Structure 1
Amino acid sequence: MSTAYLETTKNIYKEAAENPQIGLCCTTTPIWQLPGLNIPKRMQEMNYGCGSTVNPRDLANNPKVLYVGVGGGMELLQFAYFSRQKAGVIGIDIVDEMIEASRKNILDAENTNPWFSSAFIELRKGDALTLPIDDTSIDVAAQNCLFNIFKETQLRQALKEMYRVLKPNGRLILSDPTCETSMPDALKDDERLRALCLSGAIPLKDYIKIISDIGFGTIEVRARRPYRILDSKHYATNELIFIESVEVCAVKDPMPEDGPCIFTGKTAIYYGSNEYFDDDKGHMLYQNQPLSVCDKTADNLAALNRNDIFISESTWFYDGGGCC
Structure 2
Amino acid sequence: MSNYLETAHSVYKEAAENPQKGLCCTTTPVWQLPGLSIPQKMLEMNYGCGSTVNARDLVNQPTVLYVGIGGGMELLQFSYFSRKHQAVIGVDVVDEMITVCQENLIEAEKQNPWFRKEFIDIRKGSALSLPIEDNSIDVAAQNCLFNIFEEADLQLALKEMYRVLKPRGRLVLSDPTCEQAMPESLKQDARLRALCLSGALPLQQYIEMITAIGFGTVEIRAKRPYRILDPENYDTDTLLYIESVEVCAIKDPMPADGPCVFTGKTAIYYGKDEYFDDEKGHVLLPNQPLAVCDKTANALSTLERNDIFISPSTFFYDGGGCC
Which interval holds the TM-score relative to the shorter structure?
over 0.9
Aligned to 1:110: 109
Runs of 4+ residues over 3 Å off in structure 1: none
1:116 & 1:218 partners in 2: Cα distance? Answer: 33
The superposition leaves residues 85-142 of structure 1 with CA deviations (integer Å, 9 ceiling, x where unpaired) of 0001000000000001000001100000011110111100000000000000000000
The 5 A counterparts of 1:192-231 are 192-231=191-230
Aligned to 1:160: 159
AA at the equivalent of 1:103:
Q
Q: Which moved further from structure 2: 128-137 or 267-276?
A: 267-276
1:271 & 1:99 partners in 2: Cα distance? Answer: 56
SS for the counterpart of 1:53 is: coil
Residues 272 and 309, structure 1, Cα contact 8 Å, conserved in 2? yes
AA at the equivalent of 1:249:
C
Aligned to 2:150: 151
Residues 211 and 250, structure 1, Cα contact 8 Å, conserved in 2? yes
1:3 & 1:308 partners in 2: Cα distance? Answer: 56
Aligned-residue offset at 1:287: 1.1
Aligned-residue offset at 1:3: 2.1
Aligned length: 323
The superposition leaves residues 236-268 of structure 1 with CA deviations (integer Å, 9 ceiling, x where unpaired) of 111000000000000001000000000000000
Aligned-residue offset at 1:30: 2.7
AA at the equivalent of 1:260:
P
Aligned to 1:276: 275
Identity level (%): 72
Correspondence 1:253 to 2:260: no
Aligned-residue offset at 1:75: 0.4
Aligned to 1:63: 62
2:186 & 2:285 partners in 1: Cα distance? Answer: 50
1:34 & 1:276 partners in 2: Cα distance? Answer: 40
2:311 & 2:180 partners in 1: Cα distance? Answer: 25
The 5 A counterparts of 1:1-324 are 3-324=2-323
Stretches of structure 1 lacking an aligned partner (at least 5 in a row): none
Residues 263 and 295, structure 1, Cα contact 8 Å, conserved in 2? yes
SS for the counterpart of 1:207 is: helix
Residues 267 and 292, structure 1, Cα contact 8 Å, conserved in 2? yes
Alignment CA distance shift 1:246-1:301 (3 Å): same
2:304 & 2:11 partners in 1: Cα distance? Answer: 54
Aligned-residue offset at 1:27: 1.3
Residues 28 and 227, structure 1, Cα contact 8 Å, conserved in 2? no
1:157 & 1:237 partners in 2: Cα distance? Answer: 29
Aligned-residue offset at 1:198: 0.3
AA at the equivalent of 2:12:
Y
SS for the counterpart of 1:174 is: strand
The superposition leaves residues 57-102 of structure 1 with CA deviations (integer Å, 9 ceiling, x where unpaired) of 0000000000000000000000000001000100000000000100
2:305 & 2:57 partners in 1: Cα distance? Answer: 36
The superposition leaves residues 158-192 of structure 1 with CA deviations (integer Å, 9 ceiling, x where unpaired) of 00000000000000000000001101111111110
1:105 & 1:27 partners in 2: Cα distance? Answer: 21
Stretches of structure 2 lacking an aligned partner (at least 5 in a row): none
Residues 64 and 138, structure 1, Cα contact 8 Å, conserved in 2? yes
2:298 & 2:181 partners in 1: Cα distance? Answer: 27
1:102 & 1:246 partners in 2: Cα distance? Answer: 25
What is the TM-score when the length of structure 1 is the normalising length?
A: 0.99
AA at the equivalent of 2:130:
L
1:303 & 1:135 partners in 2: Cα distance? Answer: 41
Residues 218 and 259, structure 2, Cα contact 8 Å, conserved in 1? yes
Aligned-residue offset at 1:28: 4.0
